[in-house]
Amino acid sequence: MMMRRRRGSPLVAAAVVGGVAHHAGKTSAENAAAEQQQSQQIADLQAQNAQLAQQQAQMAQQPQMQQAAPQYAPPPPPAQAPAPAPAPVPVAAAPSQDDKLAQLTQLGQLKTAGVLTEEEFAAEKAKILGS
């Protein structure tokens, strides 16, 4: 008597392969979307940094223009005791674009290494981009 080899249903095999392919494609698409969003945020930060640099350059040129046009200044009053100078106000420096980019890169490495969860990564990224 000849034994027949039983084969699995081709439909089931195709469904399994299709399901695996769908999951892989979905995961790939989600990763690509997240990467695109992060790239957009980095591009936005770079544009903001360029705009800030342009504004600072314009502000630096304004005093030079004012110095170029001499204005009449009345003579100083007779010598008196000078008034005390006001105390300088400390200005908190905003993090530069390079600092933010370095922080985002380090944050991505920590997430990739498994040190940070997705939620922790998102919270820290929001802090960096929001400041």
pTM to 2 decimal places: 0.35
Q: Could you read off the pLDDT of 33-68 as tens digits, one per residue? A: 888 899 889 888 888 888 888 888 888 777 655 555
Angle at 36 between CA 30 and CA 37, to 5 degrees: 90
Query: How many beta carbons lie within 10 A of that of residue 38, not counting itself?
Result: 14
CA distance 81 to 3: 117
Confidence of residue 129 (pLDDT cuts 50, 70, 90): confident
Q: Could you read off the pLDDT of 110-121 as tens digits, one per residue? A: 989 988 899 999
